[in-house]
Amino acid sequence: MLAVIGVPTLAEIFERQVPAAVRLQRPLALPDGLGEQDVYEHLRALAERNSSVEDELSFLGAGMYDHYVPALVDMLTERSEFLTPYTPYQPEISQGGLQAMFEYQTAISELTGLPVANASVYEGPSAVAAAAYLAKLHNGRRRLVVSAGLHPHSIQTLRTYAHGYDMEVAEVPLRDGVTDPDAWARAIDERASAAIFAQPNFYGAVEDAAALSAAAKAGAGASGANGAGADAPVVIAQVDPITLGVLASPGECGVDVAVGEGQPLGNRLDFGGPSFGLFAAREQYLRRMPGRIAGETVDVDGRRGFVLTLQTREQHIRREKATSNICTSQALNALAGVVYLAWLGRRGIVELGELLLARTHYARERLAAIDGVEPLHSQPVIRELALRLDADLAAVRRRCALAGVNPGVDVHALGDRPQDRGVLLVAITERRTRQDIDRLAEVLGAAVAAERDAAATSELGVPA
Amino acid sequence: MSPLEQTPLQRERARTIFQKGAPGRRAFVCPELDVPAVDASELLPERFRRRQPPRLPEVSEPEIVRHYVGISKRNFDLDSGFYPLGSCTMKHNPRLHERVAALPGNARLHPLQDAERAQGALELMWNLQGALAEIAGLPHVSLQPSAGSHGELAGVLLTRAYHEDRGGGGRVPNKVLTPDTAHGTNPATVTMAGYEVVKLATDADGGVDLEDLRAKADTDVACLMLTNPNTLGLFDPNIVEIAEIVHGVGATLYYDGANLNAVMGVSRPGDMGFDIVHFNLHKSFTQPHGGGGPGSGPIAVSDRVAPFLPVPLVAQREDGGYELDYGRGRAGSKSIGRLRGFHGNYGCFVRAYAYIRSLGGDGLTDVSEAAVLNANYLLARLRQQGVAEYLPLAYGQLCMHEFVLSGGPMRQRLQIKTLDLAKRLLDFGFHPPTVYFPLLVEEALMVEPTETETRETLDAFAEAIAAILKEAAADPEIARGAPYTTPVRRLDEVAAAKRPIIREALA
């Protein structure tokens, strides 16, 4: 090969191009390479030091959930034809991926009740920030009004992004577990670029989404002829797609842009990623959306086909004037999402939602009956519920772990907000049966009682 | 081609999953309601309920499998053939990586599992951080960004934080320099991070025009974003001087890691003077590209940028265990905050770590050497085939891991465009190179063969290009009408954008 190139040594190819001053003069200080079997054994040993949701009775949620992933999702996403190509720059040989994107967009549009959806963004919290950027491009205002019911990661991500594009974030507090409607209305004035809430919110409560949207559009920002005029802020909802068989869709509720974490739809936990972010909107925002969009067209013989479309929004065409910098997103994860939704089907998504609703309601009744445990709020809950414990939560969780139960997320440890001290967030998926919930109630009850006893004893000055 | 000559795939008309199935058909069986039935309105008031169910498909499991297996066959993929898509590093994806990523301790590990019960995952992330730091020649790593463009955003926000911290509330620079050869993500990122883009010219040798750089590098400049080797496949010979100029005005130097596959173990961005680097784990460290993701875009930074890194970071405790460090309770944390939920695309970390452990330091160096060898060999083979007359190398004589040809002479002399050549390559069973990028090369064709291709494959590709040019010399219409054998033929992209249909219309 060197003879064909016309150089005596491989080293010369580098010497002629890379200045000696910046050439690494030693080997990389990394462990020696291993054969396939040894790598497998090493990775297996590491993985065995993790307790997965198969190893304990887990009620962890707060953004990612242990829903059942059907086997056909694995089988289809592992196919070379979906797994190993890249972005469909050559549509004639990428019809499978493009059609999957088109179907995914259709499914997300149906779920959200909004007419246009893109082919995915990275994941949930950064999707919120991407939607806020759309609002900035749309109306040029500087203020993002955000319900404190958003996931703390979403608020933190939004703050990071907003500092870059020079916007301020104003947080609206909750009242009895949901966005305080008075504070919400007050916060939304003519400076508001977007009004952002979560449905259901981080604490599991179902918000009155229609009322929040209407209030945002009727606020001081709305000076258009019909009240909800062109000057109203963009209403953005962070939604949980698995609840949308039961909960009123964002479209029905007057939401302009719906975003959310797609992981509950057929994606595995993967210690937090990769998953996908969904992004849907009203038609008027189509040309400001971030990311890839698949569109339908015909070939020279009139056959139906699909292409990436509206690319003049995108970074590779529009460069510094692009609506986003996103390039590679989450095509394979979105494929898992649409396969899952096809598997769940039109009736299944409603049935599953009803089951989650009933079991979560049952879990709240059961857990709230424990001495020293109060529900954080009395709002409807659909797949997650928040409790306040009158006991050292970290110690309670440790006690539960000894019994093989992970009772849920310590919200204060997650978001570092003082009002969340002692708050436990419990997620109920279809994989957690009534028996599992009863077991949680028993273990949590014992742990809280033991902790309260220990605390009382130590207050009396007796060593625990 | 007449209808009689259609291939079987061409005879199939595309029907979406929404056009299949029948009312009542299904795959999912819902677990039984095992808790006491409660009145529906008590669970959820009517006004919060959805009125009509979403019109999802009504299909059985066999229908779903047949549908998606069917459409999968309308894709070309890396496991089936050569995919020399420039700047994308389409190298082989070892299947071991899929196996280890799918282990329950990885795939079914909840991101909020207590650190004590996720030590294996945290150790893996710690080890990966260390390996990436060594490869970059920069000591501090955040694994959080979701893809290359997300890493770029992190890098520019870090730059902003760095300048704001130094400026002490006073005037801070407001411009970022990007060469005209830069990936589109660079200028797009700059705008998103609130900076003004200033374009840098390219000199006659394909590197940064030093005179233009000197003229534009002033105290208003916050950063220069550079790819090295650049998108022309050339290592900038003036990199040391560029770094001096940029640092001389107090700006940071950002390394777009899309082309790292050329220099692993050969030259380190940190040693070149870069302050911030993003990696594309899906490129250099071989992740399946998934039809457009997922990716993963960790960043490595120098000491002066480290205080601003996003949180959380993986840290080693004194007892040797690992934890996630949120920088809480530490006085004056300067972190830019969070860029996404949880800790990054861990599933990609597992694959990248498996790759690094498989190859070791020497193996990674071999990767870059073989990638550069393959690119230069393919370039030379094309010259041998007489292709250079029509498709000359845009700049230079040799290349790094990829090279850019200009289709200008081909267009003039053979009356076919780069697009026609690309479409005709589809009939020969190859994925075309990246086309029409970088923008400053007329009719550009950017070829990145990667290290995992055999000499036989490179020879076959060179022969195919030569054959297409020869065919065009006889009859340019053949290439202009291509492709002929793909599931669909050339598609009307203008019509798609003019009247966008982006979802299935449902009854």
Q: Convert the pLDDT of each residue in B429-438 to its tens digit.
A: 999 999 999 9
Percent of chain B with pLDDT over 70: 98
pLDDT at A76: 98
User: Which amino acid type is present at position B8?
Assistant: P
Assess whether B347 and B373 both reside in one domain: no
Q: What is the pLDDT of residue B330?
A: 64
Question: Do A297 and B496 touch, CB atoms closer than 8 A?
Answer: yes
Q: Under a CB-based contact definition with an 8 Å cutoff, are residues A310 and A293 in contact?
A: yes
Task: Tell me which residue range forms the domain holding B214.
Answer: 96-354
**Rounded-to-integer distance, Cα B415 and Cα B437, Å:** 20
| CA–CA gap between residue B469 and residue B477 (Å, rounded) | 12
Q: Which of residues 260-319 of A touch B (CB under 8 A)?
A: 261, 268-274, 276, 286, 292-301, 303-307, 309-312, 314-319
Q: From CA B402, how far away is CA A186, in angstroms rounded? A: 57
Amino acid B171: pLDDT: 80
On whether both B126 and B253 belong to a single domain, the answer is yes
Average pLDDT on B143-164 reads 97
Minimal Cα distance from A52: which residue of B?
B109
Sort out which chain A residues have CB atoms less than 8 A from B43's CB and list them: 357-358, 361, 380
Residues forming a β-bridge with A147: A172
Chain B contact present for A201, CB below 8 A:
no
Q: Is residue B434 located within the same domain as residue B481?
A: yes
Within chain A, all domains assigned CATH 3.40.640.10 are found at 72-340
A positions 85-114 inside 8 Å of B (CB): 85-97, 99-100, 102-103, 105-107, 109-111, 113
| Residues 6 or more apart in contact with residue A185 via CB below 8 angstroms | A215, A219
**Mean pLDDT over each residue of chain B, to the nearest integer:** 96
Please report the pLDDT score of residue A463 as a whole number. Answer: 56
Contact A233, A100 (CB under 8 A): no
User: Mean pLDDT of all residues in chain A?
Assistant: 95
In chain B, the residue whose alpha carbon lies closest to the alpha carbon of A19 is B237
pLDDT in tens, A212-227: 999 999 975 444 444 4
User: Which token pair is A102?
Assistant: 């088109």
Quick one: pLDDT at residue B329? Answer: 60
pTM over cut 0.95: yes
* Rounded to 5°, angle at Cα B85 from B79 and B86: 145
For residues B277 and B410, membership in a common domain is answered with no
Residue A367 neighbours by CB distance under 10 Å: 25
> Are residues B61 and B109 located together in one domain of the fold?
no
Tally of residues, chain A: 464
End-to-end CA distance of chain B: 35
Which of B56, B72, B88 delimits the end of a domain?
A: B72
Last residue of a domain, one of B354, B371, B393: B354
- Whether B244 is in a domain gets the answer yes
> Per the domain annotation, does B503 fall within a domain?
no
Q: Domain end: B354, B381, B404, which one?
A: B354
Question: Chain A contacts of B293, Cβ < 8 Å?
Answer: 120, 274, 328-333
Residue B166 has pLDDT above 70, yes or no: yes
pLDDT of residue B1: 47
DSSP β-bridge partners for residue A58: A406
Pick the CATH number of A72-340 from 1.25.40.10, 3.50.50.60, 3.40.640.10, 3.30.70.3400: 3.40.640.10
Distance CA A266, CA A79 (A): 16
Beta carbons of A164 and B239 less than 8 Å apart: no
Q: Is A341 on the interface with B (CB under 8 A)?
A: yes
pLDDT at B212: 98
Does residue B170 surpass a pLDDT of 50? yes
* Domain shared by B408 and B260, yes or no: no
CATH of residue B338's domain is 3.40.640.10
* Residues B184, B165 share a domain: yes
B positions 260-299 inside 8 Å of A (CB): 263-268, 271-272, 280, 282, 288-296
What is A346-455's CATH number? 3.90.1150.10
Name the stretches of chain A with pLDDT < 70: 220-230, 461-464
CATH 3.90.1150.10 intervals, chain A: 346-455
B39 phi-psi bin (left φ>0, alpha ψ -120 to 50, beta other): beta
Q: Do B293 and B372 fall into the same domain?
A: no
Is residue B506 domain-resident? no
Domain match, B183 and B229 both:
yes
Best probe of the B interface among A73, A206, A246, A271, by most B CBs < 10 A, is A271
How far apart CA A193 and CA A189 sit, in angstroms, is: 9
B238 pLDDT more than 50: yes
Same domain, B257 and B311: yes
CA atoms within 13 A on the CB side of B68: 32
Mean pLDDT is highest, among A225-239, B303-317, B319-333, for: B303-317
Burial (CB < 10 A; 0-12, 13-18, 19+), residue B246, is buried
User: Between chains, do B59 and A342 touch, taking CB under 8 Å as contact?
Assistant: yes
Q: Residues in chain B, how many?
A: 507
Same domain, B179 and B321: yes
A3 by Cβ neighbours in 10 Å (0-12 / 13-18 / 19+) ranks as exposed
What pairing do the DSSP bridges indicate for beta strands B299-301 and B196-200? unpaired
* Residue B102: inside a domain: yes
> Six-digit token pair at A98?
């493009």
CB neighbourhood size of A379 (10 A): 21
Start-end of H helices in B387-454? 408-414, 418-427
Is any Cβ of chain A less than 8 angstroms from the Cβ of B474?
no
Mean pLDDT calculated for residue range B281-288: 96
Residue B91 located in a structural domain: no
Both tokens of B231, joined, read 């998108």
Taking Cα atoms as reference points, which of A364, A441, A355 lies closest to residue A405? Answer: A441
Domain count across chain B: 3
Q: Confirm whether B247 is domain-assigned.
A: yes
Number of C-beta neighbours around residue B409 at 10 A = 16
Helix (H) or strand (E) holding A296: strand A294-298
Specify if B131 maps to a domain.
Answer: yes
E strands, A316-414, where?
A: 373-375, 384-389, 405-406, 409-410
Question: What is the pLDDT at residue A220?
Answer: 56
Helices (H), B217-268: 239-248
Q: Chain-centre distance of CA B130, in angstroms?
A: 22
Interface test with A, best of B25, B503, B504 (most A CBs within 10 A): B503
Say if B380 is an interface residue toward chain A (CB within 8 Å): yes
Domain with B420 in it: what CATH number? 3.90.1150.10
Q: Which residue in chain A is spatially nearest to B41 when comparing CA positions?
A: A380
**3-state SS assignment for residue B475:** coil
Q: Quick one: pLDDT at residue A462?
A: 59
Alpha-carbon radius of gyration of chain A: 25
Residues B438 and B340 in one domain: no
Question: Are A72 and B152 in contact (CB < 8 Å)?
Answer: no
Higher-pLDDT residue of A323 and B35 is B35
